[in-house]
Structures are given as structure tokens and as C-alpha cells.
């Protein structure tokens, strides 16, 4: 029997939440088969198996947060005998291992490091020696008696049933039943499944139950008369907790200075339109953000101090650009970055931006993709906002906010004409970036948006 402990999948992460098991007790697994999906403070991660064999026990329930180093799964050479637990939604809640003793794996409220406890008594006596295979289910007492058997004679399973029921009844309250998609939707919407009235045939929470509960309890743009007055409590953990800590640390450690500039991006919009119809960019997603990203890289090369880091003892000027793109995801804000973005052509940068966005939206951004950023762009225009004062990503000294691009009246050669206008905002760490450098940098970004042909220099 081998136990797999929760590893540190990032740099210094101390805990993670078990989101969903991909295996159950009795499954045969090979090395590198995906065992479980976990959520760290930074992303969703799939953990592969380091062992080959048969899953003997799931030691941590879905939804439970455990420390790095905690045993989460046991893998051995033989299959266990499964007894279903009617209140939990993972199959192997009760297991008879090779020792022949029934044990209870950990539930969501149990200590992740506590040992499984044998039931003993009549159940143990009814199991003659080691058992291998699927074994009888807990509802075996309801099955039709074998031909020739005395119906008045209690079977071993029937004798054991009261003790099993008593032991199960002593378990801590289990999580509500729900299919994985419903559980994921509840997490994304910040709803507690335990509060949702269940109408499923087996007592499970259905998606309709969840939607109805959300509509009743979530504050929306409906008239005040539709409000219920209830308070929905969402635990602060995972990505949300990490984001909050990072933003507070940045806001109160780096003295921010913010500046803004309105830009005529009409030629950028024309350039994007041409790229979309270009054969070279066929199948590649192109948007104004691509030009902004290229402009930030170009401007950072002309103003190196915005692409740096502060360490109290020294300023680190980076000779490369790991371009961060702030991405809003169902699990919160993440800032993955494109490594060595200064080396990429315009097309390669477009592909990298598209891949980064798809991975972030799917919640699959890996911790390594969020490490070592040098400067960040936040596309607040995607939210319909004109401008804002962004907070610098920790470890960096500059961030650019790209506002929405829309037609506005603009003066050209003394005439008021409609033009595509956007607003660029920037926040900088004043310990590293002086006001004039910040102004020159943002002016250079604006110059590219006004005339993308400058990128050809």
C-alpha cells in the first residue's frame, strides 16, 4: 500500500482544495493517470498518479482544503470491497481493505491526517479473512433471498446492518449530493450547496434547484422589491484570497503614481481590420489588445525602468519582457504572463494572447505561468470602462490600463470629426519610476496606437 501526499504544485503554496476526484476505490491506475483536480491559491491543477496499482482509499473528500504533505489517496495492489454511503456523493465512502476490516475514509469535516477507524463487531466477524473484488453493497439486505435459503434466518449482512447504520449515523454531517457540474456552478456563483433545497430523485441538488436559489438570494439589477434580504456568505479562499492579499500588499508597500492619456486609435482600428482579413493571420484572433501589447513591449524597451523590480537594496532592470495580462475568471483575478514576449512576432504574440485567455477562462492557468512577470496590462475596456487606476502587480513597478475604444467627437485639423478614441491609464511604483519616465512611457504606448506603422522602425 502506497500513500500519495498532496504536493506543492507552486512556489511556496501551503494548502489546496480537492475539487473533484477523477478515480474511485477499486479503479486500476497507471503512472501519470490523472487522480484528482485541486485548486490552489493560484489555479486549478490536475495531479497525476506517481504509482501504478488499485485505488484503495480516497482520504480527503471533495471540497476539503488540506495542507501540503497531507495523505490524500492510498494505492495498493488489490481492490477494496465497497459499501455505499447514502449521504455522500463519492462512491467509496466505506471500504473493506485487504485486512478484512471495514474502515471509514475521511469526510469533509474530519481531520485529513487522522487514521481510518475499523468498525469491528458483527461486521468484522462476518468477513472471513482478506477480501478482494467488488463485494456486497450495503443494500444487500434488500436483495431477493437465494433459492433454498431460510427467509427467517438473518444473513451476515442483515446482522451487520444495524451496526453499520449506527456507525454511519455517527459520522459528521456529509456534504449535500450534487453532480460535479452543479457543484462547479455553485462554486463559481459563490453559493453554499448546503443551503439549497434539493428536489432530485435521490435527494440531490439539481441545476434547477441551484438556479432557483441563486435567483432568490443573489442581489441583481432587479427592483428592490425582488430582494429577499438574505445574506449569501462566501468563504475567502483560493484565488480570491491570494488576490486580496497581493493587492493589499502592493497598495500599501509600493507608492503608486497614476497618469492618464486620451488617444486617437483610429489607425489602430484600421490596422486590426486589415490583419483580420490578412491571409497570414487566418485563424488567428486579432483585437486592439494585440497592438497595445506590442506597444507596451516597444515602449518598455525605450523606457527600461518601467520593466524592473524593487528589492529595497537594489533596483533590478529586466533585460526581457514577461508580459502579464490581467484576466477575470470565474474563480477570480489571475495575471498569467507571456514569457520573453519581446522575442515574438506580431502573429506569435496574437497566438500567445489567445492561448493565455482561453487557459485562464478555463481555470487551467498553472502557477508557473503567473511567476516572474515584469509588466502588466489590464484590459478594462473589455468591461466597458473608459479608464481606472490599476494596482501594480506585486513584484513589478508598472501596469497599463487599456480602456474601451469607441467613437467620439475629435478635433482634426481644426474640424470636429468622429474618431475611435480610447484612454490609457498607468500606475507606477514611484520608488523606481519617476513622473517624467512614466509620462514618456505612456506617451510612447499612445504613439503606437495613433500610428502602428512606428512598430516597423
> Looking at residue 67, what is its pLDDT?
87
- 342 or 202, higher pLDDT: 342
Residue range 180-226, CATH number: 4.10.320.10
DSSP string computed for 380-431: GGGGT-S---PPPPTT-SEEEEE---EEEEEEETTEEEEEEEEEEEEEEETT
Q: Encode pLDDT of 156-190 as tens digits.
A: 444 444 443 444 344 444 567 887 777 877 877 77
Res. 79 pLDDT band, cuts 50 70 90: very low
For a pLDDT cut of 70, what percent of the chain falls above it? 71
Distances (CA, A) of 419 to 70, 93, 95, 412, 416: 59, 64, 69, 9, 9
User: How do residues 368-407 score in pLDDT, each as one tens digit?
Assistant: 888 899 999 999 998 889 999 999 998 999 999 999 999 9
215 confidence band (pLDDT: 50, 70, 90) = low
104 SS3 class: coil
Percent of the chain with pLDDT over 90: 40
Query: CA 361, CA 301: separation in Å to the nearest integer?
Result: 30
The C-alpha atoms of residue 300 and residue 269 are separated, in whole angstroms, by 22
pLDDT tens string 10-58: 655 678 888 889 999 999 999 888 899 887 766 678 888 888 999 999 9
Take residue 107 and report the three cell numbers written for it. Answer: 469526510
The pTM (predicted TM-score) of the whole model is: 0.56
Averaged pLDDT for residues 112-141: 37
What are the structural domain ranges in the chain? Answer: 2-169, 180-226, 239-456
CATH number of 239-456: 3.30.559.10
Instruction: Tell me whether residue 85 is one of the annotated catalytic residues.
Output: no
Among 3.90.1150.10, 3.30.565.10, 3.40.50.720, 2.40.50.100, name the CATH number for the domain at 2-169.
2.40.50.100
Cα-Cα-Cα-Cα dihedral sign, residues 5, 183, 181, 134: positive
User: What would the mean pLDDT of 148-155 be, rounded to a whole number?
Assistant: 46
Amino acid at each position: 500500500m502506497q500513500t500519495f501526499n498532496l504536493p506543492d504544485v507552486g512556489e511556496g503554496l501551503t494548502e489546496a482544495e480537492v475539487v473533484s476526484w477523477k478515480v474511485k476505490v477499486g479503479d486500476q491506475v497507471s503512472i501519470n493517470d490523472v487522480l484528482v483536480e485541486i485548486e490552489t491559491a493560484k489555479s486549478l491543477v490536475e495531479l497525476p498518479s506517481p504509482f501504478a496499482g488499485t485505488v484503495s482509499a480516497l482520504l480527503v473528500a471533495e471540497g476539503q482544503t488540506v495542507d501540503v504533505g497531507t495523505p490524500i489517496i492510498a494505492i495498493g495492489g488489490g481492490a477494496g470491497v465497497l459499501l455505499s454511503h447514502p449521504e455522500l456523493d463519492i462512491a467509496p465512502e466505506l471500504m473493506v481493505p485487504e485486512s478484512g476490516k471495514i474502515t471509514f475514509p475521511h469526510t469533509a469535516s474530519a481531520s485529513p491526517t487522522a487514521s481510518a477507524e475499523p468498525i469491528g463487531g458483527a461486521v468484522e466477524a462476518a468477513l472471513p479473512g482478506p477480501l478482494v473484488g467488488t463485494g456486497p453493497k450495503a443494500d444487500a439486505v434488500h436483495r431477493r433471498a437465494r433459492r433454498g435459503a431460510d427467509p427467517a434466518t438473518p444473513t451476515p449482512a442483515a446482522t451487520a446492518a444495524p451496526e453499520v447504520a449506527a456507525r454511519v449515523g455517527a459520522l459528521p454531517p456529509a456534504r449535500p449530493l450534487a453532480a460535479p457540474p452543479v457543484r462547479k456552478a455553485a462554486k463559481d456563483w459563490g453559493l453554499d450547496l448546503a443551503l439549497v433545497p434539493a428536489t432530485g430523485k435521490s435527494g440531490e441538488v439539481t441545476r434547477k434547484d441551484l438556479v432557483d436559489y441563486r435567483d432568490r438570494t443573489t442581489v441583481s439589477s432587479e427592483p428592490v422589491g425582488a430582494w429577499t434580504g438574505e445574506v449569501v456568505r462566501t468563504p475567502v479562499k483560493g484565488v480570491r484570497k491570494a488576490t486580496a492579499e497581493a493587492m493589499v500588499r502592493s497598495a500599501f508597500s509600493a507608492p503608486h503614481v497614476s497618469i492618464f492619456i486620451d488617444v486617437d486609435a483610429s489607425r489602430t482600428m484600421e490596422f486590426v481590420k486589415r490583419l483580420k482579413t490578412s491571409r497570414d493571420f487566418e485563424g488567428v484572433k486579432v483585437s486592439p489588445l494585440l497592438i497595445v501589447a506590442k506597444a507596451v513591449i516597444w515602449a518598455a524597451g525605450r523606457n527600461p525602468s518601467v520593466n524592473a523590480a524593487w528589492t529595497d537594496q537594489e533596483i533590478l532592470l529586466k533585460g526581457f519582457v514577461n508580459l502579464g495580462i490581467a484576466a477575470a475568471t470565474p474563480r477570480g483575478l489571475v495575471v498569467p504572463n507571456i514569457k520573453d514576449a519581446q522575442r515574438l512576432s506580431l502573429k506569435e504574440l496574437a497566438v500567445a494572447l489567445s492561448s493565455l485567455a482561453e487557459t485562464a477562462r478555463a481555470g487551467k492557468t498553472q502557477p508557473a505561468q503567473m511567476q516572474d512577470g515584469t509588466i502588466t496590462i489590464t484590459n478594462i475596456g473589455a468591461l466597458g470602462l473608459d479608464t481606472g487606476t490599476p494596482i501594480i502587480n506585486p513584484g513589478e513597478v508598472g501596469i497599463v490600463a487599456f480602456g474601451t475604444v469607441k467613437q467620439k467627437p475629435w478635433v482634426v485639423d481644426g474640424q470636429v470629426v468622429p474618431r475611435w478614441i480610447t484612454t490609457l491609464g498607468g500606475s507606477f511604483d514611484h520608488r523606481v519610476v519617476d513622473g517624467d519616465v512614466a509620462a514618456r512611457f505612456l506617451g510612447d504606448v499612445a504613439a503606437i496606437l495613433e500610428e502602428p506603422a512606428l512598430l516597423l522602425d
